[in-house]
Each structure stands twice: as C-alpha cells, then as structure tokens.
Amino acid sequence: NAGVTQTPKFQVLKTGQSMTLQCAQDMNHEYMSWYRQDPGMGLRLIHYSVGAGITDQGEVPNGYNVSRSTTEDFPLRLLSAAPSQTSVYFCASRMWTESSYEQYFGPGTRLTVT
C-alpha cells in the first residue's frame, strides 16, 4: 500500500491564483481530512469527509473548497490564494468506525503565496 499520497510537494502561487492540492489513499478509508500546519499553531482542521459525496467544514474552512467524488481522492481547492494561506498542508485518512480511530497522514504540501 502507498498509504496517503499528496501532490505536489512544493508550490509557489501568486496572490489571487487558484490551485488544487491532490490527496489520494489506497486503504479504502471512508474518512479523509485536510489540515494546515503553521509554526507554533499545531495542526488545524480545514475540511473533512466521511464518505463519497459527504463533506463538512472544520475549524478553518474559509478560502478552501473540497469535494469527494470517490473513496480514494479528496482534493483541496484554493479559489483565490492569499498570503495568509502560506502553510504546510496535510491530508489524512482513517476508517470510519467506532472501533478504529487511527488516522494516517500524508507527507504534506508546502505552499507559499506571494
């Protein structure tokens, strides 16, 4: 299993540009999520999904869109990038059962918005 994969690893955007961060998992996990990590702030939840066609907002959703058309993929879209979105973005997945909470993270995408 490749686990959770993310592309690209690095990205530089200009203010106002749009882009999509890709995330895929091959573990057949129902739950997928996006976090951003900023220095001294820990990881903060942006959006999550508990299955195809189902998404919901996390703690810091403004400026980001998501969709979940398949179990495997959960892309994160920045519609109009702002310098405040400079961060490291992590995708994570887990089974969606009461007995299994183990969450697996991808390697991250480092985004810089100038």
- Where do contacts with another protein occur on this chain (CB under 8 A)? 4, 31, 33, 35, 40-45, 48, 50, 56, 58-59, 90, 98, 101-108
Cα separation, 4 vs 14, in Å, equals: 27
Nearer of residues 9 and 14 to another protein, judged by Cβ: 9
Residue 14: Cβ-neighbour burial (10 angstroms; 0-12, 13-18, 19+): exposed
Residue closer to another protein by CB (options 2, 98) is 98
Least distance from C-beta 42 to another protein, angstroms? 4
Q: Which is nearer to another protein, 81 or 91 (CB)?
A: 91
- Nearer to another protein by Cβ, of 14 and 40: the residue is 40
Q: Is the dihedral of CA 83, 14, 49, 106 positive or negative?
A: negative
Token digits of residue 15: 């203010």
Q: Smallest distance from the beta carbon of 46 to another protein, in angstroms?
A: 10
Map residue 87 onto helix, strand or coil.
Answer: strand
